[in-house]
Amino acid sequence: MRALLLTLVLAATTAATTPLPSPPIPKVPLHTEFVVEVNAKGQVVRVKSAKASSDPFFNTQTNGNVLQMWIRHPDGSAEVGLYRVNYDFDPKTQKISRRIALVSRGGNWGNQPGAASVMVDTAKREYEEAQQRQEQMQNNLPPLEGIIGATPSPTPHA
């Protein structure tokens, strides 16, 4: 019984630390294009439109990257507007290039929070709510003695 328990614990630990396999490196050029709204701080507020490549993993990676971007001038200032962001993968060099271009100035999203900030705030709120639910569940548990009964006292064997 003890050996079975040890085996299960080791298997669970090994499974939890085993890295996921990496997707294969594409053999063809890939291109994604996003039009994003940028606020007054230079944060991407949201993706207005996107053109995907043939590779779903590349699409996911570039979409996640564009949502976390800051687009600013070299002096650190930012300009509210629509920007086009292109990602191109070159299979010969296995490198990704990113190009950013202003499409139009202005927009009513200048004071909205950036997408990455919203995601972080949502994750914090969900974590706190999960912690509160867990505490409530623990506080609502009956006492252990009520579940299994009183612990018998040891008696000598004859």
Whether 35 is in a domain gets the answer yes
Is the separation of the CB atoms in 82 and 107 below 8 Å? yes
150 domain residue, yes or no: no
Residue-wise pLDDT for 35-79, tens only, equals 999 999 999 999 999 999 999 999 999 999 999 999 999 999 999
Q: Is residue 142 part of a domain?
A: no
Q: Are 66 and 44 contacting, i.e. CB atoms less than 8 angstroms apart? A: yes
Distance CA 127, CA 144 (A): 28
- Which domain does 71 fall in, by range? 23-135
The answer as to whether 125 is a domain residue is: yes
9 located within any domain = no
Residue 11 lies in a domain: no
Name the domain count of the chain: 1
Q: Is residue 122 part of a domain?
A: yes
pLDDT tens, residue by residue, 96-141: 999 999 999 999 999 999 999 999 999 999 999 999 988 888 887 7
